[in-house]
Amino acid sequence: MGLAIEEGKIAQSKGEVPIGAILVQDGQVIGRGHNLRETDLNPVAHAEILAIQDGATRLKKWRLTGSTLYVTVEPCPMCAGAIVLARISRVVFAVMDPKGGAGGTCFNILESPWTNHRVEVTSGVREDEVRELMQTFFRDLREKRGRKK
């Protein structure tokens, strides 16, 4: 999770929401990603999507069975769908997303019996640290926007 948090901090340094993701297989990092939606003006440039793409490219295969995705925030429905389609075995995240989380909070796409693959989910890993990172980012953003008025 530490590497995912570092990816989140890279995103934050670019003015992005500090979400980072690391894809691991057999103890080796095979994919990395951090939010780039604002930087790339791309609505699908989520940390999880970028880490999955990186891992698939490095392994030269789209089935990522046996891998674990570490992410700072609970995946959204789009990312959860990509995780299922990539056959990732496990997702570990720090904080839940009460406005759109798809790993059990609002939706449970990752463990749904209606999909062709189920993902093991672990939540709350380094939760306090990531919650503070997120709260600081949004507090600073609100202050910055308040000063521009």
**Catalytic amino acids?**
48
Classify 123 as helix, strand or coil.
Answer: strand
DSSP element (H, E) containing 127: helix 127-148
Task: Quote the CA–CA distance of 50 and 28 in Å, as a whole number.
Answer: 17
106 among the known binding-site residues?
Answer: no
User: For residue 61, what is the DSSP state?
Assistant: -
34 among the known binding-site residues?
Answer: no
Nearest residue to 90 via CA among 141, 21, 34: 21
79 among the known binding-site residues?
Answer: yes
Nearest residue to 73 via CA among 93, 103, 92, 88: 93
List, as residue ranges, the binding site.
46, 76, 79
Binding residues for Zn(2+): 46, 76, 79
